[in-house]
A and B are shown apart, each in its own frame.
Chain A
Amino acid sequence: MDNLLGHTETYSAGDLVRVSYDSRIMEHVRTPLYIQGKCGTIVKSHGKFANPEKLAYGLQSSPKVHLYMVEFYLVNIWTTAYANDSHDSICLDIFEHWLTSI
């Protein structure tokens, strides 16, 4: 997606990632607490978007960041409420700086 600048996204479809846990819950972040610290799979890249964590504080010219659709099994999030054989899942859009490879 970013070949003109000579580099590409860090992740591609199928990659396993973990979402960071971040205690800045009073700041403007778009990564809900219920998904922080959880492991999921990259579904697709959405391209680059302005970083809402900067925009919220008027930093209009901050660099754009890669955004990914990431899928998690619900059984891995709500461990007690979901049957082990369930394939029900949830997808969230998560910015690259929240993700690490596993």
Chain B
Amino acid sequence: MYDNLEDHVSHSHQEPHFDSPDTSSFEKQVEGLKQTLLSKGLITQVELEEMIAELDQRTPFDGAQIIARAWTERDFRNRLIANGTKAVSELGYHPPDDFQSLVVLANTEFLHHLIVCTLCSCYPRWLLGRPPDWYKSIAYRSRAVSDPRGILNEFGVTLDPNISIRVVDSTAEVRYMVLPLRPSGTDNLNMKELVGLITRDSLIGVGLPHSPSVG
């Protein structure tokens, strides 16, 4: 699904290869669960298709628009950091369930955030779409919490040793998104141009936004 997004949000040029788990047994379990729910009438085929369609509508372009707005409007940025759920609702983005909330983590000159879900694959799907496969891999989930600098190096990001890393493990109903630092030399760019610099990976913290010369 990300292939047709290249015009808007491009990926890191460097993406490490993480081993994929054997999915065949999971596929059988999912199919079994689906058939059971359908046969018991707990869910209909139409509802299932609507949920999938809703999920497929979301892409990292949504998250990028929010970040570009935070880069250009200080008041919005402050509201976004203070209460992410409330601030993005101003732009028409609402969590899929009432109980889910959003916290936006602002990177600074001295602090870089990296998001993971060690228990499963929690991800702000309602702002970024489906997570990439590597996000769900055992390798990423275990190494992000034990060797975040190593992970970042493999994604082509080498942070200055003076910048601390804060890994955030999404263990409950809160979803996290990174607010990356605005690249220098972007003062004269319009919103569309800024959005074009914001990669999906920079919203997870495994990448940085493009600089204008590259973007």
Contact = CB atoms under 8 A, between A and B. Distances in A.
A binds B: yes
A74 B174 CA distance: 21
Which of B148, B149, B173 gathers the greatest number of chain A CB atoms within 10 Å? B173
B149 A52 contact: no
B145 A94 contact: no
A87 B119 CA distance: 24
B168 A91 contact: yes
Give the bracket for the number of chain A residues in contact with chain B: 20 to 34
A81 B147 contact: yes
A67 B174 CA distance: 10
Give the bracket for the number of chain B residues in contact with chain A: 20 to 34
B83 to A, nearest CB: 11
A93 B166 contact: no
A58 interface: no
Contact of B99 (A30, A49, A91, A92): A49
A22 B176 CA distance: 27
Contact of A78 (B146, B173, B174): B146
Contacts of B149: 88
Given A34-B145, A87-B164, A88-B164, A93 B170 contact: yes
Q: Tell me the dominant secondary structure on chain B's binding face.
A: mixed
A63 B71 CA distance: 40
A31 B173 CA distance: 13
Contacts of A11: none
A6 interface: no
A71 B171 contact: no
Contacts of B167: 74, 88-91
Contact of A32 (B101, B165, B169): B169
A91 B168 CA distance: 5
B172 A49 contact: yes
B171 A32 contact: yes
Interface in A54-102: 67, 69, 71, 74, 77-78, 81, 86-95
Interface of B: 99, 101, 103, 118-119, 145-149, 164-174
16 contacts: A30-B172, A34-B145, A46-B172, A47-B101, A52-B172, A69-B103, A71-B166, A74-B146, A87-B164, A89-B164, A89-B167, A90-B145, A90-B166, A90-B167, A90-B168, A95-B172
